[in-house]
């Protein structure tokens, strides 16, 4: 038959295991919250990156339109003198 001391020792072991389980659960919840926060931060950073990339592309297109010999019609400045029928000579400017 088990003694009272055996039962108390077993009970103490169970309490320790429960405390450990509670601590691990709290750590797990904290890690989940950190993961969600980092995920949101990464999504926000990607949004900013895409916005900046679009701004750079728009600025580049605007600069190309300002260059001599470029199409000033706002079509992205891809047509040079040859495409306009200039025959490969120099720009009139």
pLDDT along the chain (93 residues), means of 10: 94 98 98 98 97 91 79 50 49 50
What one-character-per-residue DSSP string does the chain give? ---HHHHHHHHHHHHHHHHHHHHHHHHHHHHHHHHHHHHHHHHHHHHHHHHHHHHHHHHHHHHHHHSTTS-TTSS-S---TTTTT-TT-----
Question: What's the pTM?
Answer: 0.51
Is the alpha carbon torsion for 42, 47, 48, 49 positive or negative?
positive
């Amino acid at each position: 038959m088990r003694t009272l001391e055996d039962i108390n020792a077993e009970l103490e072991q169970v309490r320790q295991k429960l405390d450990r389980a509670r601590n691990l659960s709290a750590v797990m919840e904290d890690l989940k919250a950190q993961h969600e926060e980092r995920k949101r931060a990464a999504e926000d950073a990607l949004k900013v990156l895409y916005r900046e990339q679009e701004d750079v592309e728009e600025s580049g297109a605007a600069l190309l339109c300002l260059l001599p010999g470029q199409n000033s019609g706002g079509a992205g400045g891809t047509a040079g003198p040859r495409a306009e029928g200039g025959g490969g000579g120099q720009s009139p400017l």
